[in-house]
Chain A
Amino acid sequence: MKDIREDIAWAKINRDILGSLENPRKLYWVIVTCALAAFGVGVGCEIYQYRTGMGVANLNNPQVWGLYIATFIFWIGMSHSGTLLSAILHLMHADWRKPIYRFAEAMTTFSLMTAGLFVMVHIGRLWQFYYSLPYPNERGIWPNFQSPLLWDAMAIFTYLSSSVLFLYVGMIPDLAICRDHLHEGWRKKLYTLLALGWEGSDRQWRNFRVTYLTIACFLIPLAVSVHSIVASDFAMSQQPGWHVTSFPPYFVAGALYSGCAAIITLFIILRYVFRFEEYMTKSILKKTVRLTFAISMVWTYLNAVEFAGVWYSHDEASKAVLIEKATGIYAPFWWSMIFCGSVMPLVLAFKRFQTNIPVLFAVSLLLNLGMWLERWMIVAPTFSHGYYPWTWENDQWPSLIQWGMVFASFGWFTLLFMVFCKVFPSVSMYEVKEMVYHRSLHLKKGETAEQGAH
């Protein structure tokens, strides 16, 4: 099985991929409509919550965070695989990433944007949000640089802006192709503007390569740090179940894991919707699946490390939280998380499933469910079973407003992502051409060698 056919003509590549900007399958419009509707639900919830107060989310003391923060971490985590595919694999010269890195990178950007929304939704006085920004003000006071939440805000903002930049820079040659091939209209103007006068000269290519490489190098530590910092929100606090040294790598692993799972899901959708069967081949899917499997095992290992660390420590409160997770009211969710996160990926170990699209679609969704549950299981049980027994509680259940908001975030993400894929080429044309070229060279070399042997 080949990653890509070596004999695709460049013109065909242009035609196929530019086609995705024109006429997707009907399913595309179904998805966009559903996403829009889901997002609308969230808007309604937020308006109601903003006007009435956070109480409508059925948060309480001590359960002050709930699904908003859990889903926030989920989306931050989701963003990591884009960087993995586009930057890390780029540096490692794994060329099979080429047809899929663009949409992965877009996924990074949009999931960060979704995560950012949750910060807003979560905050009690959204209208005073600007207090948390370090800007010069007449009061002469700064935000608290000690707070992991502030680090968070900064890390996410930096990561988001870098990701956008990376996505954009990597798109420039393709934008030029779009510019050159599209009919007149607003899109042509847009591409003209964004392509920055790209002509494909040698000098341009050289500068482009260096810039792209530089940003990729810059982005990798950012990606690691951003989720480490999100982990610090918990690890830096003092609460049982949160104050865990291994949280940063654990979070990063979890992030890559959920990101990879999401890539599988989106891979399958895009492949169908935009008729990318030629480019997003099953062979590439298989590689992604294997990567996912590897990461899932890392995550499982780190999970075990965390449990063992707690279990063999003298921290009775943390132990109590762990036992509560496994046996208390959250037990069904916790065990589902273990099942989805550590048992489900074993399916991916079987070769026959590694290219079975329906199975992979289902499994990838379950993996993501598991990872979402993981975030919830980090946040909620500590609140309901913290240091102070008097405030333990087990009847807090997120209200429909919270669920609505979580639901809507998927709508918002899908909406952004789908619109992006329709407006911009979601498969990198120039990189695919490169790939095809390299593969054909390789093939030729192989053929030559073969002939020589004869």
Chain B
Amino acid sequence: MHRLLRLSILLMGLFSAAGSYAADATQPTLTTEDSLGPQVVQPIEFPHNRHAGLRNPNDPTNSDPAKGGMEIDCQYCHTYARRSAVAGIPPLQKCIGCHQSIETVRDKPRIQELFKYWDAKKPVPWKKVHDLPDFVRFNHERHIKRFVEQQNRPTQEACGYCHGDVKSMTVARRSKPLTMGWCATCHQKAHPVAAEGGTPIGNQAYWYSFQKPVADASGGAVKAQGPNDCWQCHK
């Protein structure tokens, strides 16, 4: 009898230990075969690496596409990101703006395809790569403001937090899980107490756990940066 009791106590202990470890250790992961995320077929295979990739130091004229990119800033094309909640796709006009004066690549099949759309005045039907569910509200503007404008981080780094190393890809792939838990990992690590501008903590939402409330140094109102209630990100 006692053995049975001891055994059950032991089992229960093991179970709760494993459970709490599992609860603390669950980390969102990608579920694709490689770390780059799912492949999406686009109407034109847009080479991000060629546009945004690093210059090849040995090739000052930048003539060999296989060897280097042009280090174009993400925001040069994705201009909406700093002004709007959505980053958007640049208008076709933007592509043509440069490409009509780049004679060297005019006969390349992809560029010819691009001009076909332009001549027909038809937009390119790109496929969404980073497509959040429709009940999620994500604001690009806030993130660019914080990282690029306030903290002066390089654009590619800031964008890369969520979009991965796009400059090394041709067609962009979703290399981050973009799940709720994944968002939270960042928002918990990187957003400790801020002296100003934080929002005080409501009540329940915290208790359900999303973000840990931290008392500020003065012991006054508890403040946190970033999302602190469900409605920040859910609509």
* A and B associate in one complex: yes
Q: Which residues of A contact B (CB under 8 A)?
A: 136-142, 144, 207, 210-211
Q: Report if A144-B19 is in contact (Cβ < 8 Å); known contacts: A137-B181, A138-B27, A138-B179.
A: no
Chain A residues within an 8 Å CB radius of B204 = 144
Chain A residues within an 8 Å CB radius of B150 = none
Q: Report if A142-B26 is in contact (Cβ < 8 Å); known contacts: A136-B19, A137-B181, A210-B1.
A: no
A136, B23: Cα distance in complex, Å: 4
Chain B residues within an 8 Å CB radius of A211 = 1, 4
Q: By the criterion CB–CB under 8 Å, are B27 and A140 in contact?
A: no
The 8 Å CB contact of B22, one of A136, A144, A207, is A136
Chain B residues within an 8 Å CB radius of A136 = 19, 22-24, 26
The 8 Å CB contact of A141, one of B1, B182, B209, is B209
A140, B184: Cα distance in complex, Å: 8
Q: Report if A139-B208 is in contact (Cβ < 8 Å); known contacts: A207-B1, A210-B1.
A: no
Chain B residues within an 8 Å CB radius of A144 = 204, 208
Known: A140-B181, A140-B184, A140-B209. 20 other contacts (CB 8 A): A136-B19, A136-B22, A136-B23, A137-B181, A138-B27, A138-B28, A138-B179, A138-B180, A138-B182, A139-B179, A140-B26, A140-B210, A141-B210, A142-B209, A144-B204, A144-B208, A207-B1, A207-B4, A211-B1, A211-B4
Q: Report if A137-B26 is in contact (Cβ < 8 Å); known contacts: A207-B1, A210-B1.
A: yes
Q: By the criterion CB–CB under 8 Å, are B22 and A139 in contact?
A: no
Residue of A136, A137, A207 ringed by the most chain B CB atoms within 10 A: A136
Q: By the criterion CB–CB under 8 Å, are B26 and A141 in contact?
A: no
A137, B19: Cα distance in complex, Å: 11
- The smallest C-beta distance from B132 to any residue of chain A, in angstroms, reads 14
A137, B25: Cα distance in complex, Å: 9
B189-229 interface bits toward A, Cβ cutoff 8 Å, 1 = contact, 0 = none: 00000000000000010001110000000000000000000
Q: Which residues of B contact A (CB under 8 A)?
A: 1, 4, 19, 22-24, 26-28, 179-182, 184, 204, 208-210
Interface of B is mostly: helix
Q: By the criterion CB–CB under 8 Å, are A139 and B181 in contact?
A: yes
Residue of A138, A144, A207, A211 ringed by the most chain B CB atoms within 10 A: A138
Chain A residues within an 8 Å CB radius of B22 = 136
Q: By the criterion CB–CB under 8 Å, are B1 and A139 in contact?
A: no
Chain B residues within an 8 Å CB radius of A139 = 179-181, 184
Chain B residues within an 8 Å CB radius of A138 = 26-28, 179-182
Chain B residues within an 8 Å CB radius of A142 = 208-209
Chain B residues within an 8 Å CB radius of A210 = 1
Which chain A residue has the least Cβ–Cβ distance from B22? A136
Chain B residues within an 8 Å CB radius of A140 = 26, 181, 184, 209-210
- The smallest C-beta distance from A165 to any residue of chain B, in angstroms, reads 12
A363, B186: Cα distance in complex, Å: 65
Chain B residues within an 8 Å CB radius of A207 = 1, 4
Chain A residues within an 8 Å CB radius of B181 = 137-140
Please name 9 pairs of A and B residues whose Cβ atoms are closer than 8 Å in the assembled complex, sorted by A: A136-B19, A137-B26, A138-B180, A138-B181, A140-B184, A141-B209, A207-B1, A211-B1, A211-B4
Which chain A residue has the least Cβ–Cβ distance from B188? A140
Chain A residues within an 8 Å CB radius of B4 = 207, 211
3 tightest Cβ-Cβ pairs between the two chains A and B: A138-B181, A136-B23, A136-B22
Chain A residues within an 8 Å CB radius of B26 = 136-138, 140
A141, B28: Cα distance in complex, Å: 13
A144, B24: Cα distance in complex, Å: 18
- The smallest C-beta distance from B5 to any residue of chain A, in angstroms, reads 9
- The smallest C-beta distance from A198 to any residue of chain B, in angstroms, reads 16
A68, B193: Cα distance in complex, Å: 47
A136, B181: Cα distance in complex, Å: 11
Which chain A residue has the least Cβ–Cβ distance from B177? A138
Which chain A residue has the least Cβ–Cβ distance from B29? A138
- The smallest C-beta distance from A214 to any residue of chain B, in angstroms, reads 9
Which chain A residue has the least Cβ–Cβ distance from B230? A141
- The smallest C-beta distance from A335 to any residue of chain B, in angstroms, reads 43
Chain A residues within an 8 Å CB radius of B182 = 138
- The smallest C-beta distance from B213 to any residue of chain A, in angstroms, reads 14
- The smallest C-beta distance from B8 to any residue of chain A, in angstroms, reads 11
A207, B3: Cα distance in complex, Å: 11
- The smallest C-beta distance from A157 to any residue of chain B, in angstroms, reads 15
Q: By the criterion CB–CB under 8 Å, are B208 and A141 in contact?
A: yes
- The smallest C-beta distance from B228 to any residue of chain A, in angstroms, reads 13
- The smallest C-beta distance from B11 to any residue of chain A, in angstroms, reads 14
Which chain A residue has the least Cβ–Cβ distance from B21? A136
Which chain A residue has the least Cβ–Cβ distance from B181? A138
Chain A residues within an 8 Å CB radius of B27 = 138
A142, B24: Cα distance in complex, Å: 12
Chain A residues within an 8 Å CB radius of B210 = 140-141
Chain A residues within an 8 Å CB radius of B1 = 207, 210-211
- The smallest C-beta distance from B66 to any residue of chain A, in angstroms, reads 39
Chain A residues within an 8 Å CB radius of B184 = 139-140
A293, B138: Cα distance in complex, Å: 64
Chain A residues within an 8 Å CB radius of B180 = 138-139
- The smallest C-beta distance from B31 to any residue of chain A, in angstroms, reads 12
- The smallest C-beta distance from B181 to any residue of chain A, in angstroms, reads 3
Which chain A residue has the least Cβ–Cβ distance from B210? A141
